[in-house]
Amino acid sequence: MRVLGVDPGLTRCGLGIVDGGKGRSVRPVAVGVVRTPAGSDLAERLLGIADEVERWLDRYRPEAVAVERVFAQHNVRTAMGTAQAGGVVALAAARRGLPVVFHTPSEVKAAVTGSGRADKAQVTAMVMRLLGLEVKPHPADAADALALAICHLWREPMRIRLAEAEARAAELARAHKARLAAAAKTAKKQDETGARR
């Protein structure tokens, strides 16, 4: 499976393409950063991100898109811009019918390093090791995008199996409830028949 990982941001939006193989094998395909000038109009900046993401989707043809989920930050303006950039990416993927999954920073850190509290340097070092990179992806947004793609490749199959198990459990619960209701109805009829006799 090929995944586009996206570390959204208005000034720097990290993009990383990773192929997943058997087991937990991963292979880097491409990595980069979309930059937009801070002084430009918001709509123009979002258009610049959208255009570049569209080019990546056309060129690399990922099967899924993993985007970092925005958490409340001290700077509300930064959080808003990050969320808007993530929304543009999700829209571009949705137009192509691609699944989009949002992963929290702690999920990504835990998937890649084993600790949800890992720092950026630890995440970058593990991304390099896992993908066999000799040069550190720069800036950190690029490494984070690759980490998001790896996280998705490793977590999504488990999430799908869990969702399927939950759906099966819900169906079994509905069937059991229906059987109990039918048994109660039968018992009530038998009681009513016995009382009339």
Confidence (pLDDT) at 191: 79
Task: Provide the domain limits for residue 95.
Answer: 2-161
Question: Is the Cβ–Cβ distance between 159 and 99 less than 8 Å?
Answer: no
Return the closest-CA partner of residue 7 out of 150, 167, 135. 150
**Global pTM?**
0.83
Best CA proximity match to 145, nearest among 160, 117, 123: 123
Question: Is residue 72 assigned to a domain?
Answer: yes
Q: How high is the pLDDT of residue 75?
A: 74
* Cα 186 to chain centroid, rounded: 49
Question: What whole-number distance in Å separates Cα of residue 110 and Cα of residue 57?
Answer: 27
- Assess if residue 179 is contained within a domain: no
The answer to whether residue 118 sits within a structural domain is yes
Q: How far apart are the first and last CA of the chain?
A: 69
Q: Flag whether 193 is in a domain.
A: no
| Per-residue pLDDT at 76 | 80
Q: Token digits for 171?
A: 């169906």
Report d(CA 40, CA 37) in Å as an integer.
6
CA dihedral angle for residue 142, residue 145, residue 147, residue 148, rounded to 10 degrees:
170
Q: What CATH number should be reported for the domain holding residue 82?
A: 3.30.420.10
Q: Give me the helices (H) in 40-139, please.
A: 42-60, 76-95, 105-113, 120-131
The ranges of the chain with pLDDT < 50 are none
Please tell me the total count of domains within the chain.
1
* pLDDT at residue number 197: 65
Q: List active site positions.
A: 7, 68, 141
Q: Please report whether residue 178 resides in a domain.
A: no
Asked if residue 100 belongs to a domain, the reply is: yes
Residue 197, domain member (yes or no): no
Residue 65 lies in a domain: yes
Q: Do residues 72 and 104 make contact, with C-beta atoms less than 8 angstroms apart?
A: no
Determine which helix (DSSP H) or strand (DSSP E) holds 37, and give its type and residue range.
Answer: none
